[in-house]
Structure 1
């Protein structure tokens, strides 16, 4: 996850991929002038790469398709991205294609189910030579369910961080997230007992939650009752901290 002020990091990735013989399709921002200026400032010969067909800059609104009522259309958007990838592969001799986009505006608009459909379909739709980098502002997940956020993360292999580290998203990372969240709300001693109870009584652990994200909300609701909302809010906050572009502890989502 990264905020708009951190997009300059993406330009460095774009420059590196272009220099190494890949094509890039960039549709993460709405302002083309800002994109061109930012990429040029990052040392990218934008004119050269656009002219030879290996850099394609699309307006975010032109490739993320909406209907007449401004609702996000996942299938049509997948088709638009797929066509763009096919064209660039057909027209250029490249090692592969890096696509960079952002659907966070639709999360903000409450269309998380459509975004999930899009994210889950992207890995199946795109060519094997395609790397997909998805950018989300962490603030858009403030009112998102835990299960929806985990499901979106499950559609990707890695989270990407400031020092260009790719951190694999898997059950051990979720374990750290849950420990941190439960510790803050319950204290370390109680949280350890709760996690053991979830595993022994409810048969719920990190692997089960990864496979079926909604089970965490259901089980926490049964276990904590009226206090469950505070627990789930802490889990959301812990996930956002863990996958943030800039992290306090050493350590964008990619597939």
Structure 2
């Protein structure tokens, strides 16, 4: 089984209102249809199922119900998927039970499965978790016997993504294999990019050469090296603030600007 995690960060905000079909969705519709036309199975987790069908019909002119009847397109209410009755373990089990029966009916027919959802459909307290939305994705594939490829696409609107601290931003990004950009262009994502963007942000905020001095200070004073930045991002942010003192806020803001600019959909 091949498994990819992809991040999609769309400009603007995503409303939870059923009357407003999230600004991220029009970007997805063309590509969901493209996936379906290639014989992939699409599992779309959305609270606006009727609106999604209506929009896809209007945009493509295709009989979307036919894909649904053939179980090529599966729309799932996030309340079914992202419910939490207690601790993480029981929640994960509930999610696996609810998805597994649906997916097992579909996976035998398709070489590739694409699971798409918005972070705005997560419970509020789950969005604040260090591992955040991908707690579920890490568990689901391990319980599904599938010889093909599974791709999980997590959609953020820019406002939700920009609400994350530096530590949480690094934590979230560390879970993805790709970022998705204009024209559905995939960019490979790896931890070294985070280090590069942090260095660029520090140099831009504090002057050329500042990044090397700060990285050296973090390593010698706190034993925070590049691996620690990725594996302990919250600790890194805390120690970085100590090293930078009164310049911390502006430097971290510039670092976040560098990161957000790189991962934005419009960056491609």
Quick one: structure 1 residues 156 and 199, their matched pair in 2 at CA, closer, same or farther if it must change by over 3 Å?
A: same
Partner in structure 2 of residue 157 of structure 1? 177
Query: Are the aligned partners of 1:123 and 1:155 in contact in 2 as well (CA < 8 Å)?
Result: no
Q: Aligned to 1:132, what secondary structure does the other structure show?
A: strand
Structure 2 distance, partners of 1:244, 1:14, is 20
1:180 aligns with 2:200: yes
**Unaligned 5+ runs, structure 2:** 1-8, 12-21
Alignment equivalent of 2:116, drawn from 88, 100, 107:
100
Structure 2 distance, partners of 1:79, 1:139, is 32
Give the CA deviation at 1:117. 5.3
Alignment equivalent of 1:59, drawn from 77, 81, 84:
77
Q: Aligned to 2:30, what secondary structure does the other structure show?
A: helix
Quick one: structure 1 residues 145 and 246, their matched pair in 2 at CA, closer, same or farther if it must change by over 3 Å?
A: same
Query: Are the aligned partners of 2:127 and 2:133 in contact in 1 as well (CA < 8 Å)?
Result: no
Q: Which has the higher contact order (CA 8 A, sep 6+)?
A: 2
Give the CA deviation at 1:24. 0.8
Deviations along 1:110-150, one digit per CA (max 9) or x if unpaired, are 53354725514413421353211111112113342322222
Deviations along 1:59-89, one digit per CA (max 9) or x if unpaired, are 3333221449xxxx45533443344322322
Partner in structure 2 of residue 87 of structure 1? 105
Q: Aligned to 1:116, what secondary structure does the other structure show?
A: coil
Partner in structure 2 of residue 231 of structure 1? 251
Structure 1 distance, partners of 2:248, 2:122, is 27
Deviations along 1:146-188, one digit per CA (max 9) or x if unpaired, are 2222222222211111121211221232133213322342133
Give the CA deviation at 1:16. 1.7
Query: Are the aligned partners of 2:205 and 2:250 in contact in 1 as well (CA < 8 Å)?
Result: yes
Across the two proteins, how many residue pairs are aligned to each other?
Answer: 241
Partner in structure 2 of residue 169 of structure 1? 189
Aligned structure 1 segments of 4 or more residues deviating by more than 6 angstroms: none
Give the CA deviation at 1:50. 0.9
Give the CA deviation at 1:55. 0.8
| Worse-superposed segment, 59-68 or 172-181 | 59-68
Q: Which has the higher strand share?
A: 2
Partner in structure 2 of residue 112 of structure 1? 127
Structure 2 distance, partners of 1:154, 1:190, is 24
Deviations along 1:161-216, one digit per CA (max 9) or x if unpaired, are 11212112212321332133223421334345334544566554444322332342
Structure 1 distance, partners of 2:205, 2:125, is 27
